């Protein structure tokens, strides 16, 4: 008998009654109206000091680390004034429909096509792939820790292009289509110029770079770093290279510089980053190259997910409540309480009110610790590192996913879907033990998933 992943999900995950759906709608209305506080503290309190909750937190942390689909074009100078356009893209198993073929094997298949067009809609080049994926367990069908990767290289003249990608699930026949406008600048000019920044690992055996095009850093391995090339130079030039890593608030986390002497008209360089990765969350690496009065720069965004730094996984993580934004208290306080806290311009007076707020909610007043407060701020730290949106300068706790996570903790199950034509990607968070779920949709394509009820 042919059993699909969706059918198995239906029996294990999707038995939702009309009543549970209405609860979700009521909950959505409560979020939008700001009346969530009376039951938010109770929801938070029920989740503290739970080994099961901590396990879900760690599992959810791994799930949210890797993009479900990612495509990254890398631009480098090629021979005869042309541009070498290296395309890397991939998708996770969770986006595919797997079919259970027997007791120990599941199968999925997809077809991917990549087409490059001139700006005026003239076909230039393309590639097509058909892939079959086999896994041995149901859990692997939902894997979000591994990308099924594809790659293609095009050597083309400078100019304006459009890259079109289409992925078809060969079981459901659902399609993902995306278009990427590309402007390929001339790199053979005398002007100082920096190529794309390619995160990756140095492979010593072949002296090559394995691209980390997902932009997810999960360790401080010294083999990982960034590869780039500098053009418009002459042998003997001295180049000043300055590196800056900043977070989503544009606060500098790491900065260093050094000098290199050019030995040819092109500099190829790999800069190790392992010991520079000391903070969690979304970050940007900026490289500034200076030669006398001439300057050039390039940037690349990435996300850091170091398991040893997870607040949920390491009770030794120190959280300074005084450094936490007081605005996040609106999620679990009454309107009157929050207005009193926000109205205090004096920091000492506001800290005093916040301290009193937490004393009233201490589940064990006779002890030195306030477990509810510590769990609350651990969740705030998690949302800052996972849901902050660099391009919008938006902190994680201000997002809808961050708000739900802070109040309800990690969901027991998460379902991801990419956009089909005419729609946008969404996530479904399931809390079976509460008989509740939340649907988030990225309508603008900015990574800011908004809470919706359908």
Distances (CA, A) of 347 to 327, 356, 370, 381: 13, 14, 22, 21
9-18, 23-32, 401-410: segment of lowest average pLDDT: 9-18
Over residues 390-406, the mean pLDDT reads 87
Q: Do domains 71-186 and 189-304 have the same CATH topology?
A: yes
Q: Where are the domains of the chain?
A: 3-65+315-452, 71-186, 189-304
Q: What's the confidence (pLDDT) of residue 50?
A: 52
Residue 404: which pLDDT band, with cuts at 50, 70 and 90? very high
Residue 23: which pLDDT band, with cuts at 50, 70 and 90? very low
Residue 418: which pLDDT band, with cuts at 50, 70 and 90? low
Sign of CA dihedral 388, 393, 398, 399: negative
Return d(Cα 260, Cα 243) in angstroms, integer: 13
- Tokens representing residue 453 in the block: 């009820």
Residue 24: which pLDDT band, with cuts at 50, 70 and 90? very low
Q: What's the confidence (pLDDT) of residue 304?
A: 86
Asked if pLDDT for residue 52 goes beyond 90, the answer is no
DSSP strand pairing (294-304 vs 216-217): parallel
Residue 113: which pLDDT band, with cuts at 50, 70 and 90? very high
Give residue 287's Cα distance to chain centre: 22
Question: For the segment 178-208, what is each residue's pLDDT rounded down to a tens digit?
Answer: 899 999 988 877 789 999 999 999 887 777 8
- CB burial of 97-119 (b: ≥16 within 10 Å; e: otherwise) equals bbbbeeeeebbbbbebbbbbbee
Asked if pLDDT for residue 39 goes beyond 90, the answer is no
Asked if pLDDT for residue 273 goes beyond 90, the answer is yes
Range picked from 138-147, 289-298, 372-381 for highest mean pLDDT: 289-298
Over residues 303-330, the mean pLDDT reads 64
Over residues 351-361, the mean pLDDT reads 90
Distances (CA, A) of 423 to 113, 167, 169: 20, 15, 17
Asked if pLDDT for residue 55 goes beyond 80, the answer is no
Asked if pLDDT for residue 307 goes beyond 70, the answer is no
φ and ψ of 213, to 5 deg? -75, -10
Residue 21: which pLDDT band, with cuts at 50, 70 and 90? very low
Q: Are 178 and 164 in contact (CB under 8 A)?
A: yes
Over residues 301-317, the mean pLDDT reads 61
Asked if pLDDT for residue 166 goes beyond 90, the answer is yes
Asked if pLDDT for residue 284 goes beyond 50, the answer is yes
Asked if pLDDT for residue 162 goes beyond 80, the answer is yes
Name the 3-class secondary structure at 66.
Answer: coil
Q: Bigger pLDDT: 454 or 267?
A: 267
Asked if pLDDT for residue 12 goes beyond 80, the answer is no
Asked if pLDDT for residue 360 goes beyond 50, the answer is yes
Asked if pLDDT for residue 278 goes beyond 70, the answer is yes
Distances (CA, A) of 82 to 160, 186, 187, 297, 414: 13, 8, 8, 21, 44
Task: Return the closest-CA partner of residue 262 out of 297, 288, 291.
Answer: 291
Average pLDDT, rounded, for the chain: 81
Asked if pLDDT for residue 65 goes beyond 60, the answer is no
Return d(Cα 279, Cα 45) in angstroms, integer: 29
What's 189-304's CATH class? mainly beta
Asked if pLDDT for residue 117 goes beyond 50, the answer is yes
Residue 47: which pLDDT band, with cuts at 50, 70 and 90? low
Q: Bigger pLDDT: 21 or 206?
A: 206
- What residues contact residue 412 under an 8 Å CB cut-off, 6+ apart? 56, 430, 431, 432, 433
Q: Bigger pLDDT: 83 or 369?
A: 83
Question: For the segment 217-241, what is each residue's pLDDT rounded down to a tens digit?
Answer: 888 888 899 999 999 999 999 999 9
- Global pTM? 0.72
Q: What's the confidence (pLDDT) of residue 58?
A: 54
The CATH number that domain 71-186 falls under is 2.60.40.10
């Amino acid at each position: 008998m042919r059993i699909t992943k969706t059918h198995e999900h239906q029996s294990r995950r999707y038995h939702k009654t009309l009543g549970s759906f209405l609860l979700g709608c009521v909950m959505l209305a409560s979020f939008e109206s700001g009346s969530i506080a009376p039951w938010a503290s109770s929801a938070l309190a029920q989740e503290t000091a739970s080994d099961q909750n901590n396990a879900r937190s760690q599992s959810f942390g791994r799930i949210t680390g890797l993009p479900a689909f990612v495509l990254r074009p890398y631009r480098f100078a090629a021979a005869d004034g042309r541009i070498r356009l290296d395309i890397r893209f991939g998708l996770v198993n969770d986006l595919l429909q797997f079919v259970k073929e027997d007791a120990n094997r599941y199968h999925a298949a997809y077809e991917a096509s990549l087409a490059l067009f001139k700006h005026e809609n003239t076909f230039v080049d393309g590639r097509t792939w058909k892939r079959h994926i086999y896994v041995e367990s149901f859990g692997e069908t939902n894997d979000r820790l591994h990308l099924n990767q594809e790659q293609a290289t095009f050597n083309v003249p400078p100019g304006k292009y459009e890259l079109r990608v289409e992925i078809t699930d060969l079981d459901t026949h659902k399609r993902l289509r995306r278009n990427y406008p590309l402007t390929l600048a001339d790199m053979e000019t005398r002007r100082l110029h920096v190529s794309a920044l390619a995160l990756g690992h140095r492979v010593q055996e072949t002296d090559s770079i394995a691209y980390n095009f997902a932009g997810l850093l999960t360790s401080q391995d010294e083999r990982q770093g960034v590869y780039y090339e500098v053009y418009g130079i002459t042998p003997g030039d001295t180049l000043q290279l300055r590196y800056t890593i900043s977070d989503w608030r544009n606060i500098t986390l790491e900065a260093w510089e050094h000098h290199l002497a050019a030995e040819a008209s092109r500099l190829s360089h790999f800069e190790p980053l392992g010991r520079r990765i000391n903070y969690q969350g979304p970050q940007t690496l900026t490289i500034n190259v200076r030669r006398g009065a001439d300057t050039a720069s390039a940037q690349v965004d990435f996300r850091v997910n170091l398991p040893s730094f997870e607040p949920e996984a390491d009770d030794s993580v120190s959280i300074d409540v005084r450094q936490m934004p007081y605005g996040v208290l609106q999620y679990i306080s009454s309107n009157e309480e929050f207005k009193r806290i926000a109205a205090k311009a004096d920091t000492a007076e506001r800290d005093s009110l916040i301290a009193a707020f937490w004393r009233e909610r201490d589940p064990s007043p006779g002890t030195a610790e306030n477990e509810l407060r510590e769990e609350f701020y651990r969740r705030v730290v998690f949302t800052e590192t996972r849901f902050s949106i660099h391009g919008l300068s938006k902190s994680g706790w201000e997002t809808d996913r961050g708000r739900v996570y802070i109040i309800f903790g990690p969901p027991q199950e998460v379902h991801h879907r990419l956009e089909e034509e005419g729609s946008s990607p969404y996530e479904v968070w399931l809390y079976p033990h509460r008989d509740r779920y939340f649907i988030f949709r990225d309508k603008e394509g900015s990574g800011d998933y908004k809470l919706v009820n359908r």
